[in-house]
Structure 1
Amino acid sequence: MRLDGVGRRYGVRGPWVLRDVDLDVPARALVRVEGTNGSGKSTLLRLLAGIDRPSTGRITGRPRTAYVPERFPVSLPFTAVGYLTHLGRIHGLPGPEATRRGTEWLERFGAAGHARTRLAELSKGTSQKVAVAQALLAEPDLLVLDEAWTGLDGGAREVLDRAVAERVADGGTVVFVDHDPQRLAGAADARYRVADGRLLTHEESGPAAAATAAAGPQVLIEAEGAAGSLPDAGTPQLPGGPEIAPGPDGTTRLTVPAAHSDALLRALLTARPPWHIRSVTAVPLPHAAALPATDDSPAPHEAPLP
């Protein structure tokens, strides 16, 4: 699969979220994409998955692809196994085979007891297991994972780690984004970073790039959780030394330099008990031009349905 001069903007006069992206996506490879929140990582993954189309440039040679979105469409009128059967048929599987594979993946993720539960009634963690299962049951040549581990319990994360390794061992390619810098540490065949709308190799995004990111906009994280589960604000143990202030409805607002936002999110999500992330938004610099929306996309939700 090849991207040549690919760019993406939303609207004729909208800011460029990505521009001049040249990328070879090899077979049988694990590719990690990094970057601060709002940098364009999700947009790049949607382009790779074929969910979105480039505003300029060309994408050629896309193989059979499955995609796990950052947000799962829980409002769809299916049970868990019904949804997996439906997606399996879209991927070209016969109905009984799709049901069998979907059931097997629910069992692997410890969610077999929810096979007949409607999607709208599932917990966030179980919904995420269904979202991951719909991509894995197709055994795709290209598997695209956008924060697929977020919301999974520890056992399910280990299952997904093994599933990724199996997919690559079977000749597939996996491209993923994850807040945890230790996710599949040392296993990636290639690492890229999205910064200022550009795709950089890991070598190109060294200390100088990190310093540039630190001088950029701040990120505001609104979350709720037990205050005693985290170190005090401004201490080295809390990434980025965020400014902390009370938010509405009992939430907490943490403002941190964009370069440290992923690490802070990881600290919140792995705290005991974990924090619930309400929102993540970019805070523009004073006198700066309008920045792209943090969400990379105007769509209210992303669904793996075509």
Structure 2
Amino acid sequence: MPPAEDAGAPAADIVLDGVTVRYGGAKAPVTAVEDVSLSVGAGEFVVLVGPSGCGKTTLLRLVAGFERAAQGDVDVRRPVGVVFQQPRLFPWRTAGGNVAFALARHGVPRAQRAAKAAELLERVGLAGMAGRRTWELSGGQQQRVAIARALATEPQILLMDEPFAALDALTRERLQEEVRSLADATGTTVLFVTHSAEEAVLLGSRVLVMAAGPGRIVAEVPIGLDRGAADVAGLRATAGFSRLRGELAVATREAAGA
């Protein structure tokens, strides 16, 4: 069963109960994840870490509605937005046009889309760049457009599948700060996938460690850091961060051998 909800805690936005996902035909099925239960409270920033093939992305896709469970129950209680590892922008549209497309799908009237798209781009640090073509944007800027496009549908739950993995270190650090600040400011619930113990500690309020063969959750690491006004560099310099990163790195290595 998923963890019991604390009477004083926010209601859960995501609940998985005994979930199993299989691929392939009936003669040779492959079990991607097996008997996974988890609960993500409203406003939580939960990170999934683990080795390749442990089912992190499968769980994210399950919550997004892109996959179906062979067994178990999936309960997602508020609207969802998804940010993938690659931005997946429409190359024939401008930055603003990509966001406006999502706004149109969300039912925003045509007359309001340009202003709303510009507002969303400004929120992710791209003020004045609505008219830029995708090939005029850096990788980090393209990923910001993808985040703005996800926010266009006003999700209360944001699913992020290694969104910064392909970026340079400086851009990754900036976007880590922006995503965490955005989540804090809006109260958005975030389920985030990464291979990096450091990124998990920087962003998460709680980290779930997964093992493969088949995919399952084998450890949970609460992240009780006082972020306050500290930026990423300042947070990295704290003793608490170093301790948690080490603890999570050990748990991830153990999971890889599990």
TM-score (structure 2 length as normaliser)? 0.69
Structure 2 letter corresponding to 1:17? A
Q: For residues 180 and 115 of structure 2, what CA distance do their matches in structure 1 show? A: 20
Structure 2 regions of 5+ residues with no counterpart? Answer: 1-13, 222-247
Post-superposition offset of 1:108: 4.8
The equivalent of 2:35 in structure 1 is 20
Structure ranking higher in helix proportion: 2
The equivalent of 1:143 in structure 2 is 158
The equivalent of 2:201 in structure 1 is 185
Q: Is the CA contact (8 Å cut-off) linking 2:48 and 2:208 kept in structure 1?
A: yes
Q: For residues 210 and 155 of structure 1, what CA distance do their matches in structure 2 show? A: 27
Deviations 1:178-217 (A, max 9, x none): 34432363653321012121123325x895773462x58x
Name the CA shift for 1:152/1:90 in 2 (closer, same or farther; >3 Å). farther
Q: 1:64 aligns with which of 75, 79, 82?
A: 79
Post-superposition offset of 1:87: 0.8
Post-superposition offset of 1:34: 0.4
Residue aligned with 1:149, SS: coil
Q: For residues 251 and 126 of structure 2, what CA distance do their matches in structure 1 show? A: 45
Post-superposition offset of 1:131: 1.2
Q: For residues 136 and 202 of structure 2, what CA distance do their matches in structure 1 show? A: 38
Residue aligned with 2:68, SS: coil
Structure 1 regions of 5+ residues with no counterpart? Answer: 217-306
Name the CA shift for 1:141/1:109 in 2 (closer, same or farther; >3 Å). closer
Structure 2 letter corresponding to 1:167? A
Q: Is the CA contact (8 Å cut-off) linking 2:22 and 2:30 kept in structure 1?
A: yes
Q: For residues 166 and 129 of structure 1, what CA distance do their matches in structure 2 show? A: 12
Report percent identity of matched pairs.
Answer: 33
Q: For residues 89 and 139 of structure 1, what CA distance do their matches in structure 2 show? A: 12
Does residue 201 of the first structure (1) align with residue 219 of the second (2)?
yes
Aligned-pair Cα RMSD in Å: 3.2
Q: For residues 200 and 109 of structure 2, what CA distance do their matches in structure 1 show? A: 33
The equivalent of 2:15 in structure 1 is 2
The equivalent of 1:165 in structure 2 is 181
Q: How many residues align?
A: 215
Structure 1 letter corresponding to 2:217? L
Q: 1:42 aligns with which of 57, 64, 77?
A: 57
Q: Is the CA contact (8 Å cut-off) linking 1:72 and 1:128 kept in structure 2?
A: yes
Structure 1 letter corresponding to 2:182? E
Residue aligned with 1:182, SS: helix
Moved more, 186-195 or 23-32: 186-195
Q: For residues 196 and 249 of structure 2, what CA distance do their matches in structure 1 show? A: 18
